[in-house]
């Protein structure tokens, strides 16, 4: 579904990613982990069209979409949810959802309503606050809204940057479960996440990025063992693990 | 260039003036030639129409050069320089006609008036920038003609003031050249040369740093406000020179002499000709003012349309202006893909330093924070931190995002101030000093995004550090190494070096600042593994040979553990552990932290 | 004395309403793209020029005059959209983010120069189809009152548009979080052009309505633009409610200055207000973002 090959990317003259390749299939969740500053967000932003890569290609469904603007990628079915639960604060919850649907392929009101109903069943709090300003929501509720905004666009590929930022840990499981069900409907999902223990159970595959390069790529269930191996190697050379 | 070729670099002393001007030399001489040729040729050809036209053109060039300085070197958007021009012209004319002051003295009064006007422009510039400043100065340009009408007791209102300088227009020099043409051509040339020299002077470099990055300027001990005010005063005086000559050429000043159009001309001439280039203002004034004159001499009204259309087209097609566009094209053609491989370590040499670490471990710590606390609203960024950085050590500061590392670095360099607690450097309390004051005490810093300025040469990028040297370093970089570095970098462009080497340059800049304490904010971000090694080695070299102290905020734990003498681990604004790399790595609290989060 | 006070107050508020309209038209473009259109003043005068052209061609009554209002708005909206398109062109590559200061200034110069060429340096005045009103015991030319009505109309219309319609919400979204808007797939460029068009509707109708009380000339526009900007800064840049307050404040002050010191001092007083506000309260009365970027 999404194939990212040999990406080199960065900000201005500062390179961040060196030769990174990842891919994700329909119905699959790929978890990307790594230290701060390793380049996880840069990778998602490059795929999402916010940064034009210096080298490498991004293919969506076999079509080369490298360097396309975010607004056109959304129309091709690739949606990035930025980190920091960014919704439009001075706009109501319902209107935030309407804006999320702005990129829907056709003008089908029924499909939109069904998607909104779906969202409100999963996150009942959004139904309760449907006509409140988004700024009145808590961080976790805003993250639910941000995901809902992406959901109503019904993308084929969803990129989700740090859904846990600024959220109480207890709020994470319902959000991740939602992503799990979403993927099951055939959507390809990439999650970048700090809280590896909570996110790992929903991940089919995992990738570790270190200093702008892919360090480990494995099945989700093997990640712990791979990390353990790596940290033993580090400990052997006298470095903090 | 390798170290070997460095040894053989030509050491011939160039002539002082040429080496001063550097790569601008061609443009400068061409500019001076054009100004003098066009200023005198019409006299020689006995064309009083063109004599008059080029006298005006040349003083407009003076004003545009000043606009160029203000806009590019100092980064100030002013749409109202015509007002300064007008104030000077009016003041001189009023002094000489109404009060019988001789014109030389009237010129002095006119210049004083232009100085006053530029101070009025500089005041809002201390508070606001960008389009806000554009609007303020634009208002000033609109208001001046209205004021001239309002104070008609002094200005004769719409009738204006007439003056007579007939004798100066006589072609009395060798019977062919008028003193007026000669004087104007010379003054314009001198102003162009002054601008060229200023760009390569310490003041010019400082101005450009302040314009491009106020934070970097402060870290180099430069006060951006002072630079801005100076720029307004210098540009205002220059514009005043043009302004006091204006009545001598035209023999008249009135409200219509100084309407908004003239401010627009000065501004657009710089844009059209090429921002920041020496020839730009000359070409700009010719195209905007002269072209309509030649093509459409009878339709003076078309001139305004030409201003607008040409400026718009240039902005769309050649955003850097005509000269700028040409220079870019030539630069690409000559140097496209050019790479300069720096070997900074070789430049520094393997001088065996008298500074052994043991000798330098003086009792007074380099940096000492006691009970430091910094809050942003409800967020506690730095929470009762006690931290000591010793002289001559590389001190690593590590922790997760939001743990307070960068906040602490900002406190050390004065960019933010502690809410409580104290901060001492070399035993001096600096808790409440401004960044540029702290910088002058010998504390330098770098930023997360490297502050390498594309408008300067590679050497100038390092030289701005040298400009700011405190002069009280215990172990300054020797002159021979500085000279070597200057030759290696020379007139090279920052485009020639990749990001990794820019980081090295930045460190060299702060090293030449002769600061004994250097604060580095995530310097390894974006470096390749090889570049990281090179970078680490440079820090160690600077520590071992010159006794420099480093505070290193960095995510790359391998790098930190590889080169740091001591490490402090922060979590949620608190110090979790502090000590040698081994001690810290063995600390259970730290092990716990990194196992949990380092790979997640 | 009471009568003079009435004139200053009523006409000041009317004049201020014009400034508010300019400020409102600034805000809609500024919030969608960060651009402050320096050509806005001349667009305003062009709106007035339409009124002048109509009134000098045909004898027309109040109904006819009212019917032409939308026409004036649409004409200027088209022109401003075109200008917006040109202004946004160089912004595609990220290195020239400030090019709009120059391109809009150039557009302003071109429009002014064309007017100068077509009509000469002499100011024109349109005639009003309405007789003066009697307000607070003073005879007030109708356009002052109409400006106040237009001001309230556009304020309400903009509020409704920006909070109720999907397009309007999308334009608001741009100003609230541009990145999130792009991530959501909103077509940024198209929305910005729509904002330019709306700005044109506001400024075009404003110019048309108040044509009889302004001098329609090449150098008038810039003064109204500056005063509109000052109203915007006083109220708080980007705030529509701020513009509603800031405009009349500046208007009454201007009128007082004209009355007290003479017409030549009107803009000096405005400039002084601008500098004082920027020096001491750069965020204005209702501002969200500060002007101070030092």
Q: Is the pLDDT of residue B502 over 90?
A: no
Token pair, residue B561, equals 């553990």
Domain spans, chain B: 25-260, 367-597
| pLDDT exceeds cutoff 50 at B219 | yes
pLDDT band at B336 (very low <50, low <70, confident <90, very high): low
Q: What residues contact residue C216 under an 8 Å CB cut-off, 6+ apart? A: C45, C48, C49, C52, C119, C123, C124, C125, C126
Q: What is the pLDDT of residue C23?
A: 95
* DSSP secondary structure, C26-68, as one string: HHHHHHHHS---TTHHHHHHHHHHHHHHHHHHS---HHHHHHH
> For the residues B185-211, what does the mean pLDDT come to?
92
pLDDT above 80: residue B589: no
Taking only the tens place, the pLDDT of each residue in C44-72 is 999 999 988 888 777 778 888 888 899 99
Interface test mutation site (partner B, options A13, A42, A169, max chain B beta carbons within 10 A): A13
Q: What pLDDT, in 10s, does the model give residues A108-153? A: 788 888 999 989 998 888 999 999 999 998 888 899 999 999 999 8
Q: pLDDT tens digits, residue range A32-42?
A: 988 777 888 89
Q: Residue A204 pLDDT > 60, yes or no?
A: yes
Cβ neighbors of B219 (< 8 A, separation 6 or more) are B413, B435, B439, B444, B445, B446, B447
* pLDDT for B513: 83
Interchain CB contact of A14 with B (< 8 Å) = yes
* CATH of segment(s) A2-85+154-236: 3.40.50.300
pLDDT band (50, 70, 90) for residue B476: confident
Predicted pLDDT at C83:
94
pLDDT digits (tens, 9 = 90+) for A52-102: 999 999 999 989 999 899 989 998 999 999 988 899 999 999 999 999 988
Residue C225, pLDDT score = 93
The pLDDT of residue B1: 36
3-state secondary structure B241-291: HHHHHHHHHHCEECHHHHCHHHHHHHHHHHHHHCCCCCCHHHHHHHHHHHH
* Per-range mean pLDDT, top range of B301-310, B348-357, C206-215: C206-215
ipTM comes to 0.89
The nearest alpha carbon in chain A to C168 belongs to A99
B591 CB neighbours in chain A (<8 A) are 240-241
Chain C touched by A81 (CB under 8 Å): yes
pLDDT at residue B35 tops 50: yes
Query: Is B372 in contact with B387 (CB distance < 8 Å)?
Result: yes
Confidence grade of residue A205 (pLDDT, cut at 50, 70, 90): very high
The mean-pLDDT minimum among B96-100, B326-330, B353-357, C42-46 falls in B353-357
CB atoms near residue B111 (< 10 Å): 20
Strands A213-219 and B394-398: unpaired
Question: Where does the pLDDT of residue C293 fall: very low under 50, low under 70, confident under 90, or very high at 90 and above?
Answer: very low
Q: Name residue B161's beta-bridge partners.
A: B253
Contact A60, A76 (CB under 8 A): yes
Q: What is the CATH number of domain C10-280?
A: 1.10.3470
Q: What is the mean pLDDT of residues C162-184?
A: 91
Yes or no, beta carbons of B599 and A33 under 8 Å apart: yes
pLDDT at C292: 40
Nearest CA distance, C172 vs chain A (angstrom): 8
User: Between B234 and B219, whose confidence is greater?
Assistant: B234
Nearest CA in chain A to B401: A36
Specify the CATH number for B367-597; select among 3.40.50.300, 3.40.50.920, 3.40.50.1110, 3.40.630.30.
3.40.50.300
Which residues in chain B are closer than 8 Å to C287, comparing Cβ atoms? none
Q: Is it the case that residue B17 has pLDDT exceeding 70?
A: no
Any idea where the domains of chain A sit in the sequence? 2-85+154-236
Residue B13 has pLDDT above 50, yes or no: no
Q: Which residues of C touch A81 (CB under 8 A)?
A: 183
Which range of B84-88, B410-414, B548-552, B570-574 scores highest in mean pLDDT? It is B84-88
User: In chain A, what residues touch B452 (CB-CB under 8 Å)?
Assistant: 13
Interface residue B378 vs chain A (CB under 8 A): no
- DSSP string computed for B322-367: HHHHHHHHHHHHHHTT------HHHHH--PPPS--HHHH--SS-SE
Which among B136, B311, B315 has the least Cβ separation from residue C90? B315
How high does pLDDT run on average in chain B? 83
Arithmetic mean of pLDDT, B144-168: 82
Question: Is residue C210's pLDDT more than 90?
Answer: yes
Max Cα-Cα span within chain C? 60
Q: Where are the domains of chain C?
A: 10-280
Pick the residue with more confidence: B127 or C291?
B127
pLDDT of residue B475: 73
């Amino acid at each position: 579904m999404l194939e990212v090959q040999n990406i080199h990317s960065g900000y201005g003259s500062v390179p961040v990613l060196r030769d990174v390749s990842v891919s994700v299939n329909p119905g699959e969740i790929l978890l990307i982990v790594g230290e701060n500053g390793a380049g996880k967000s840069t990778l998602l932003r490059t795929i999402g069209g916010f940064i034009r890569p210096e080298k490498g290609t991004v293919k969506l469904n076999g079509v080369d979409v490298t360097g396309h603007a975010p607004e056109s990628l959304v129309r091709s079915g690739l949606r990035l949810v930025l980190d920091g639960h960014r919704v439009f604060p001075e706009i109501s919850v319902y209107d935030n959802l309407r804006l999320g649907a702005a990129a829907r392929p056709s003008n089908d009101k029924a499909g939109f309503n069904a998607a909104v109903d779906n969202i409100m069943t999963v996150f009942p709090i959004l139904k309760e606050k449907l006509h409140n300003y988004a700024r009145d929501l808590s961080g976790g509720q805003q993250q639910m809204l941000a995901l809902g905004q992406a959901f109503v666009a019904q993308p084929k590929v969803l990129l989700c940057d740090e859904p846990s930022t600024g959220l109480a840990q207890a709020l994470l499981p319902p959000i991740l479960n939602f992503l799990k069900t979403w993927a099951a409907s055939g959507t390809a999902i990439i999650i970048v996440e700090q809280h590896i223990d909570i996110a790992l159970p929903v991940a089919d595959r995992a990738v570790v990025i270190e200093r702008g390069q892919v360090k480990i790529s494995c099945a989700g269930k093997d990640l712990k063992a791979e990390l353990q191996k790596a940290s033993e190697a580090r400990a052997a050379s006298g470095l903090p693990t | 260039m390798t170290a070997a070729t460095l040894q053989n670099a030509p050491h011939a002393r160039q002539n002082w003036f040429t080496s001063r001007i550097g790569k601008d030399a061609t443009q400068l001489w061409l500019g001076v030639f054009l100004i003098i040729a066009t200023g005198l040729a019409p006299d020689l050809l006995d064309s009083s129409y063109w004599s008059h036209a080029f006298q005006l053109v040349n003083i407009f060039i003076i004003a545009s050069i000043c606009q160029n300085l203000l806009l590019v070197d100092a980064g100030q958007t002013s749409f109202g320089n015509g007002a300064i021009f007008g104030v000077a012209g009016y003041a001189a004319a009023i002094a000489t006609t109404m009060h019988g002051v001789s014109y030389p003295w009237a010129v002095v009064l006119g210049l004083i008036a232009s100085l006053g006007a530029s101070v009025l422009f500089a005041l809002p510039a201390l508070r606001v920038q960008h389009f806000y400043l554009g609007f303020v100065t634009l208002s000033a340009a609109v208001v001046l003609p209205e004021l001239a009408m309002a104070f008609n007791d002094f200005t004769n209102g719409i009738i204006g003031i007439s003056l007579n300088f007939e004798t100066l227009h006589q072609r009395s020099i060798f019977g062919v050249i008028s003193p007026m043409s000669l004087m104007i051509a010379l003054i314009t040339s001198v102003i162009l040369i002054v601008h060229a020299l200023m760009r390569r002077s310490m003041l010019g470099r400082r101005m450009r740093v302040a314009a491009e990055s106020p934070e970097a300027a402060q870290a180099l001990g430069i006060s951006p406000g002072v630079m801005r005010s100076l720029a307004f005063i210098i540009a205002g005086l220059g514009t005043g020179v043009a302004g006091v000559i204006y009545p001598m050429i035209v023999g008249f000043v009135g409200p219509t002499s100084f309407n908004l159009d003239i401010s627009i001309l000065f501004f657009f001439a710089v844009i059209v000709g090429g921002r920041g280039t020496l020839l730009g203002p000359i070409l700009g004034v010719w195209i905007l003012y002269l072209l309509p004159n030649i093509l459409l001499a009878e339709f003076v009204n078309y001139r305004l349309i030409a201003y607008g259309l040409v400026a718009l087209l240039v902005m769309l097609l050649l955003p850097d202006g005509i000269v700028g566009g040409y220079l870019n094209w030539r630069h690409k053609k000559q140097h496209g893909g050019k790479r300069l491989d720096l070997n900074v370590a070789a430049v520094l040499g393997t001088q065996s330093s008298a500074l052994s670490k043991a000798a330098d471990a003086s009792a007074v710590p380099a940096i000492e924070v006691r009970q430091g606390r910094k809050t942003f609203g409800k967020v506690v960024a730095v929470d009762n931190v006690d931290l000591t950085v010793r002289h001559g050590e590389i001190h690593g500061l590590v922790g997760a995002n939001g743990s307070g590392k960068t906040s602490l670095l900002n406190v050390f360099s004065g960019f933010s101030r502690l809410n409580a607690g104290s901060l001492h450097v070399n035993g001096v309390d600096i808790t409440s000093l401004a960044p540029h004051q702290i910088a002058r005490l010998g504390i330098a810093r770098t930023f997360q995004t490297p502050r390498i300025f594309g408008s300067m040469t590679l050497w100038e990028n390092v030289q701005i550090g040298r400009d700011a040297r405190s002069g009280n370093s215990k172990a300054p970089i020797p002159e021979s190494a500085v000279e070597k570095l200057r030759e290696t970098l020379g007139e090279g462009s920052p485009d020639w070096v990749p990001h990794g080497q820019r980081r090295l340059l930045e460190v060299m800049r702060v090293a030449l600042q002769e600061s004994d304490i250097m604060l580095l904010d995530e310097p390894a971000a974006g470096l390749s593994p090889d570049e990281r090694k090179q970078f680490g080695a440079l820090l160690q070299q600077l520590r071992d040979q010159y006794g420099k102290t480093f505070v290193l905020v960095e995510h790359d734990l391998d790098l930190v553990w590889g080169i740091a003498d001591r490490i402090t681990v922060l979590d949620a604004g608190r110090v979790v552990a502090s000590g040698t790399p081994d001690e810290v790595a063995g600390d259970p609290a730290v092990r716990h932290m990194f196992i949990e989060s380092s790979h997640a | 004395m009471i009568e003079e006070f009435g004139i200053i107050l009523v006409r000041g508020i009317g004049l201020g309403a014009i400034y508010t309209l300019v400020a409102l038209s600034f805000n809609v473009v500024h919030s969608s793209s960060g651009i402050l259109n320096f050509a806005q003043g001349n667009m305003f005068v062009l709106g007035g020029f339409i009124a002048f052209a109509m009134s000098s061609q045909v004898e027309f009554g109040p109904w006819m005059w009212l019917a032409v209002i939308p026409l004036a708005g649409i004409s200027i909206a088209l022109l401003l959209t075109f200008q917006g398109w040109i202004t946004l062109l160089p912004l595609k590559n990220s290195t020239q983010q400030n090019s709009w200061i120059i391109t809009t200034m150039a557009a302003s110069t071109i429009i002014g120069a064309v007017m100068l060429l077509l009509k000469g340096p002499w100011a024109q005045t349109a005639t009003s189809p309405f007789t003066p009103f009697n307000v607070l015991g003073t005879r007030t030319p109708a356009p002052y009152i109409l400006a106040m009505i237009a001001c309230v109309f556009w304020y309400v219309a903009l509020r409704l548009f920006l909070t109720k319609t999907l397009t309007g919400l999308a334009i608001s979204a741009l100003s609230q979080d541009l990145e999130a808007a792009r991530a959501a797939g909103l077509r940024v460029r198209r929305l910005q052009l729509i904002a330019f068009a709306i700005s044109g509707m506001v400024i075009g109708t404003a110019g048309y309505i108040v044509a009889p009380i302004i001098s329609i000339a090449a150098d008038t526009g810039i003064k109204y633009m500056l005063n509109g900007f000052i109203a915007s800064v006083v109220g708080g840049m980007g705030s529509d409610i701020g513009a509603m307050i800031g405009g009349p404040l500046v208007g009454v002050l201007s009128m007082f200055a004209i009355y007290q010191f003479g017409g030549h001092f009107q803009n000096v007083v405005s400039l002084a207000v601008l500098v004082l506000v920027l020096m001491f309260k750069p965020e204005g009365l209702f501002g969200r973002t500060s002007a101070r970027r030092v």
